[in-house]
Structure 1
Amino acid sequence: MSGLPLFRDPWAKREAWRKSPVFSNRVMFRNLFPGFGIGLAAFTVYVVADNVLFSAKKSASEHH
């Protein structure tokens, strides 16, 4: 005998995709909300710009 075990899993090749790193929990969670980070950054820039512009206009109009 060549030292190989006599029993082999005939489904091992068909089940190998489950152990692929593409299907890990971290990758699945990261791809759960695509574009969320970019959208959050864009919304934050919008809110900051809106507050800066309107506070400048409001303070200029309050002097009259």
Structure 2
Amino acid sequence: MSNLPLYRDPWARRDAWRKHPVFSRTTVLRNMFPGLGIAIVAFTGYVIVDNVFLSAKKSEENHH
């Protein structure tokens, strides 16, 4: 007797693409907004620079 199961799905080969890692839920969500991570880091850096360095300059100008 062979190792094949008793019931074989004739459509298994046609549905195999659905189980491919490219179509996984995490991959789809990660690729939905390309560049979002870089944009968040850049905006956070801008806000930190604006609050720390530029507010220090504004407070020095107000003391004169």
Which band: TM-score by shorter chain?
Answer: 0.7 to 0.9
Give the secondary-structure state (helix, strand or coil) at the position aligned to 2:63.
coil
Question: Once the 2 structures are TM-superposed, how far is the Cα of residue 11 of structure 1 from its aligned partner?
Answer: 2.6
2:44 matched to 1:48? no
Count of paired positions: 64
Higher deviation after alignment, 44-53 or 7-16:
7-16
Change (3 A) 1:63 1:12: same
Counterpart Cα distance in 1 of 2:30 and 2:13: 27
1:3-22 equivalence runs, <5 A: 4=4, 8-22=8-22
Gaps of 5+ in 2: none
TM-score (norm 1): 0.77
The superposition leaves residues 22-61 of structure 1 with CA deviations (integer Å, 9 ceiling, x where unpaired) of 1111111111111111100000001111112221111111
Stretches of 4+ aligned residues off by more than 3 angstroms? 1-10
Given the superposition, is the C-alpha separation of residues 54 and 6 from structure 1 closer, same or farther in structure 2, using an over 3 Å criterion?
closer
Q: What 5-or-longer segments of structure 1 have no aligned partner?
A: none
Equivalent-residue separation in structure 2 for 1:11 and 1:20 (angstroms): 16
Q: Aligned in 2, Cα 1:8/1:51: closer, same or farther, shift over 3 Å?
A: same
Structure 1 vs Structure 2 CA RMSD: 2.0
